[in-house]
Amino acid sequence: MADVFHLGLSKSMLRGATLAIVPGDPERVKRIAALLDDAEFLASHREFTSYVANIDGKPIVICSTGIGGPSTSIAVEELAQLGVRTFLRIGTTGAIQPHVQVGDIIVSQASVRLDGASLHFAPMEYPAVADFACTAAMVDACRDAGVEPHVGITASSDTFYPGQERYDTVSGHVTQRFVGSLKHWQELGVLNYEMESATLFTMCASQGWRAACVAGVIVNRTQQEIPDEAVMKGTEQQAISIVVNAARKLLS
Protein backbone atom coordinates (compact mmCIF):
# COMPACT_ATOMS: atom_id res chain seq x y z
CA MET A 1 0.00 0.00 0.00
CA ALA A 2 1.31 3.45 -0.93
CA ASP A 3 2.33 5.86 1.82
CA VAL A 4 1.89 8.99 -0.35
CA PHE A 5 -0.98 10.28 -2.44
CA HIS A 6 0.42 10.77 -5.97
CA LEU A 7 3.64 8.81 -6.45
CA GLY A 8 2.26 5.39 -5.53
CA LEU A 9 5.29 4.68 -3.33
CA SER A 10 5.89 3.44 0.19
CA LYS A 11 8.94 4.15 2.31
CA SER A 12 10.03 0.53 2.23
CA MET A 13 10.20 0.60 -1.58
CA LEU A 14 12.96 3.24 -1.49
CA ARG A 15 15.52 0.96 0.28
CA GLY A 16 16.38 3.83 2.64
CA ALA A 17 17.35 6.25 -0.13
CA THR A 18 17.87 9.87 0.90
CA LEU A 19 18.94 11.18 -2.54
CA ALA A 20 16.77 11.47 -5.63
CA ILE A 21 17.50 12.35 -9.24
CA VAL A 22 14.47 14.23 -10.55
CA PRO A 23 14.13 14.68 -14.32
CA GLY A 24 11.00 16.23 -15.73
CA ASP A 25 10.39 13.64 -18.46
CA PRO A 26 9.11 10.20 -17.37
CA GLU A 27 10.94 8.62 -20.33
CA ARG A 28 14.23 9.94 -18.98
CA VAL A 29 13.85 7.97 -15.74
CA LYS A 30 14.50 4.60 -17.37
CA ARG A 31 17.56 5.96 -19.19
CA ILE A 32 19.03 7.16 -15.90
CA ALA A 33 18.22 3.91 -14.13
CA ALA A 34 20.01 1.97 -16.90
CA LEU A 35 23.30 3.56 -15.79
CA LEU A 36 22.90 2.36 -12.20
CA ASP A 37 23.09 -0.98 -10.39
CA ASP A 38 20.17 -3.17 -9.29
CA ALA A 39 17.62 -0.86 -10.91
CA GLU A 40 14.00 -1.69 -10.11
CA PHE A 41 10.87 -0.11 -11.56
CA LEU A 42 8.60 1.14 -8.79
CA ALA A 43 5.52 2.92 -10.11
CA SER A 44 4.05 5.11 -12.82
CA HIS A 45 1.15 7.44 -12.03
CA ARG A 46 0.32 10.41 -14.26
CA GLU A 47 3.61 12.31 -14.83
CA PHE A 48 5.40 10.51 -12.01
CA THR A 49 7.49 7.48 -13.00
CA SER A 50 9.93 6.11 -10.45
CA TYR A 51 12.78 3.62 -10.11
CA VAL A 52 15.07 2.71 -7.26
CA ALA A 53 18.66 1.66 -7.89
CA ASN A 54 22.09 1.59 -6.27
CA ILE A 55 25.26 3.64 -6.75
CA ASP A 56 28.28 1.91 -5.25
CA GLY A 57 25.94 -0.10 -3.05
CA LYS A 58 23.97 2.91 -1.84
CA PRO A 59 20.28 3.42 -2.72
CA ILE A 60 19.03 6.23 -4.93
CA VAL A 61 15.59 7.12 -6.26
CA ILE A 62 14.89 8.36 -9.77
CA CYS A 63 11.49 10.03 -10.11
CA SER A 64 10.08 12.25 -12.84
CA THR A 65 8.39 15.49 -11.87
CA GLY A 66 6.50 16.37 -15.03
CA ILE A 67 6.64 19.89 -16.44
CA GLY A 68 6.58 22.97 -14.22
CA GLY A 69 6.58 23.97 -10.60
CA PRO A 70 3.25 22.60 -9.32
CA SER A 71 3.94 18.99 -10.27
CA THR A 72 7.58 19.33 -9.18
CA SER A 73 6.41 20.45 -5.73
CA ILE A 74 4.23 17.35 -5.44
CA ALA A 75 7.05 14.97 -6.34
CA VAL A 76 9.54 16.66 -4.01
CA GLU A 77 7.10 16.85 -1.10
CA GLU A 78 6.10 13.21 -1.35
CA LEU A 79 9.68 12.00 -1.79
CA ALA A 80 10.60 14.05 1.29
CA GLN A 81 7.77 12.37 3.21
CA LEU A 82 9.50 9.08 2.33
CA GLY A 83 12.89 10.24 3.63
CA VAL A 84 14.60 11.91 0.65
CA ARG A 85 16.54 15.07 1.53
CA THR A 86 18.71 15.72 -1.56
CA PHE A 87 17.21 16.44 -4.99
CA LEU A 88 19.26 16.62 -8.19
CA ARG A 89 17.34 17.96 -11.15
CA ILE A 90 18.43 17.13 -14.70
CA GLY A 91 16.78 18.67 -17.73
CA THR A 92 17.18 20.40 -21.06
CA THR A 93 17.10 24.12 -21.62
CA GLY A 94 17.07 27.03 -24.02
CA ALA A 95 20.00 29.43 -23.66
CA ILE A 96 19.49 33.18 -24.08
CA GLN A 97 23.11 34.40 -24.00
CA PRO A 98 24.88 34.42 -27.39
CA HIS A 99 28.07 32.84 -26.00
CA VAL A 100 26.27 29.72 -24.71
CA GLN A 101 26.37 27.09 -27.44
CA VAL A 102 23.99 24.27 -28.25
CA GLY A 103 25.44 21.16 -26.60
CA ASP A 104 26.83 23.12 -23.65
CA ILE A 105 25.94 22.33 -20.04
CA ILE A 106 24.46 24.83 -17.57
CA VAL A 107 24.59 24.40 -13.79
CA SER A 108 22.13 26.74 -12.09
CA GLN A 109 23.32 28.52 -8.95
CA ALA A 110 20.02 30.30 -8.52
CA SER A 111 16.79 31.02 -10.37
CA VAL A 112 14.66 34.02 -11.24
CA ARG A 113 11.28 33.20 -9.73
CA LEU A 114 8.92 33.51 -12.70
CA ASP A 115 6.78 30.73 -11.28
CA GLY A 116 3.86 30.80 -8.88
CA ALA A 117 4.40 27.58 -6.95
CA SER A 118 7.47 28.85 -5.12
CA LEU A 119 5.34 31.55 -3.49
CA HIS A 120 3.51 28.79 -1.65
CA PHE A 121 6.76 28.05 0.22
CA ALA A 122 8.39 31.44 0.78
CA PRO A 123 7.73 35.11 -0.06
CA MET A 124 9.19 36.61 -3.23
CA GLU A 125 12.01 38.26 -1.28
CA TYR A 126 13.35 34.77 -0.43
CA PRO A 127 15.99 33.64 -2.95
CA ALA A 128 15.63 30.55 -5.12
CA VAL A 129 19.14 29.27 -4.54
CA ALA A 130 20.80 25.88 -5.00
CA ASP A 131 22.71 24.02 -2.30
CA PHE A 132 26.43 24.80 -2.48
CA ALA A 133 27.73 21.25 -1.99
CA CYS A 134 25.33 19.81 -4.56
CA THR A 135 26.18 22.53 -7.06
CA ALA A 136 29.91 21.91 -6.53
CA ALA A 137 29.34 18.19 -7.15
CA MET A 138 27.57 19.04 -10.43
CA VAL A 139 30.46 21.27 -11.53
CA ASP A 140 33.04 18.65 -10.57
CA ALA A 141 31.08 15.98 -12.47
CA CYS A 142 31.08 18.20 -15.56
CA ARG A 143 34.84 18.68 -15.35
CA ASP A 144 35.35 14.95 -14.86
CA ALA A 145 33.58 14.53 -18.20
CA GLY A 146 35.85 17.09 -19.85
CA VAL A 147 33.11 19.74 -19.90
CA GLU A 148 33.47 23.27 -18.57
CA PRO A 149 29.91 24.21 -17.55
CA HIS A 150 28.29 27.61 -17.55
CA VAL A 151 27.45 28.32 -13.90
CA GLY A 152 24.99 31.09 -13.16
CA ILE A 153 21.39 32.23 -12.97
CA THR A 154 18.42 30.61 -14.69
CA ALA A 155 15.02 32.15 -15.42
CA SER A 156 12.44 29.61 -14.27
CA SER A 157 8.97 30.14 -15.74
CA ASP A 158 5.64 28.47 -15.08
CA THR A 159 4.78 28.74 -18.78
CA PHE A 160 6.67 27.72 -21.90
CA TYR A 161 5.21 30.40 -24.17
CA PRO A 162 4.30 33.79 -22.59
CA GLY A 163 6.57 33.52 -19.54
CA GLN A 164 9.52 32.93 -21.85
CA GLU A 165 8.36 35.66 -24.23
CA ARG A 166 7.51 33.41 -27.14
CA TYR A 167 5.25 34.88 -29.80
CA ASP A 168 4.84 31.74 -31.96
CA THR A 169 1.41 31.00 -30.48
CA VAL A 170 -2.17 31.03 -31.75
CA SER A 171 -2.74 34.55 -30.47
CA GLY A 172 0.79 35.88 -30.97
CA HIS A 173 0.18 37.82 -27.77
CA VAL A 174 2.35 38.08 -24.67
CA THR A 175 0.92 39.76 -21.60
CA GLN A 176 2.46 43.13 -20.74
CA ARG A 177 4.44 41.75 -17.79
CA PHE A 178 6.65 39.71 -20.12
CA VAL A 179 7.00 42.03 -23.12
CA GLY A 180 10.71 42.78 -23.39
CA SER A 181 11.55 40.42 -20.55
CA LEU A 182 13.93 38.20 -22.55
CA LYS A 183 16.14 41.18 -23.37
CA HIS A 184 15.94 42.30 -19.74
CA TRP A 185 17.15 38.92 -18.45
CA GLN A 186 19.94 38.91 -21.03
CA GLU A 187 21.10 42.31 -19.80
CA LEU A 188 21.12 40.98 -16.22
CA GLY A 189 23.31 38.02 -17.21
CA VAL A 190 20.67 35.29 -16.96
CA LEU A 191 21.86 32.25 -18.91
CA ASN A 192 18.74 30.34 -19.83
CA TYR A 193 15.07 29.50 -19.40
CA GLU A 194 13.60 26.37 -17.84
CA MET A 195 10.48 25.57 -15.83
CA GLU A 196 11.20 23.78 -12.55
CA SER A 197 14.27 25.09 -10.72
CA ALA A 198 12.69 28.11 -9.01
CA THR A 199 10.13 25.92 -7.27
CA LEU A 200 12.69 23.22 -6.48
CA PHE A 201 15.29 25.62 -5.05
CA THR A 202 12.85 27.70 -3.00
CA MET A 203 11.07 24.67 -1.63
CA CYS A 204 14.24 22.84 -0.64
CA ALA A 205 16.18 25.82 0.74
CA SER A 206 13.25 26.96 2.86
CA GLN A 207 12.79 23.50 4.38
CA GLY A 208 16.43 22.62 5.00
CA TRP A 209 16.77 20.18 2.11
CA ARG A 210 19.41 20.19 -0.64
CA ALA A 211 18.90 20.76 -4.36
CA ALA A 212 20.89 21.38 -7.52
CA CYS A 213 20.11 21.58 -11.22
CA VAL A 214 22.03 20.69 -14.37
CA ALA A 215 20.68 21.14 -17.89
CA GLY A 216 21.86 20.44 -21.40
CA VAL A 217 21.45 23.29 -23.88
CA ILE A 218 19.34 22.10 -26.81
CA VAL A 219 18.67 25.49 -28.42
CA ASN A 220 20.02 29.02 -28.26
CA ARG A 221 17.16 31.43 -28.68
CA THR A 222 19.38 34.18 -30.04
CA GLN A 223 19.80 31.91 -33.08
CA GLN A 224 16.71 29.68 -33.44
CA GLU A 225 13.70 28.32 -31.56
CA ILE A 226 13.49 24.70 -32.71
CA PRO A 227 16.19 22.21 -31.56
CA ASP A 228 17.87 19.63 -33.76
CA GLU A 229 16.68 16.18 -32.67
CA ALA A 230 20.04 14.43 -33.02
CA VAL A 231 21.90 17.12 -31.10
CA MET A 232 19.19 17.18 -28.46
CA LYS A 233 19.51 13.46 -27.69
CA GLY A 234 23.29 13.61 -27.36
CA THR A 235 23.17 16.67 -25.11
CA GLU A 236 20.50 15.11 -22.94
CA GLN A 237 22.55 11.93 -22.53
CA GLN A 238 25.60 13.92 -21.49
CA ALA A 239 23.57 15.75 -18.84
CA ILE A 240 22.26 12.40 -17.58
CA SER A 241 25.80 11.07 -17.19
CA ILE A 242 26.80 14.22 -15.31
CA VAL A 243 23.93 14.06 -12.81
CA VAL A 244 24.67 10.38 -12.12
CA ASN A 245 28.32 11.20 -11.45
CA ALA A 246 27.29 14.10 -9.20
CA ALA A 247 25.05 11.75 -7.24
CA ARG A 248 27.96 9.34 -6.87
CA LYS A 249 30.13 12.12 -5.44
CA LEU A 250 27.47 13.14 -2.93
CA LEU A 251 26.96 9.55 -1.79
CA SER A 252 30.66 8.76 -1.41
Catalytic center residues: 6, 78, 166, 221
Q: Which of 162, 33, 23 is nearest to 93 (CA)?
A: 23
Pairing of strands 37-45, 19-23: unpaired
Query: Residue 188 burial by CB count (10 A; 0-12/13-18/19+): exposed, middle or buried?
Result: exposed
Give the integer Cα–Cα distance in Å for 77 and 84.
9
Cα–chain-centroid distance for residue 231? Answer: 19
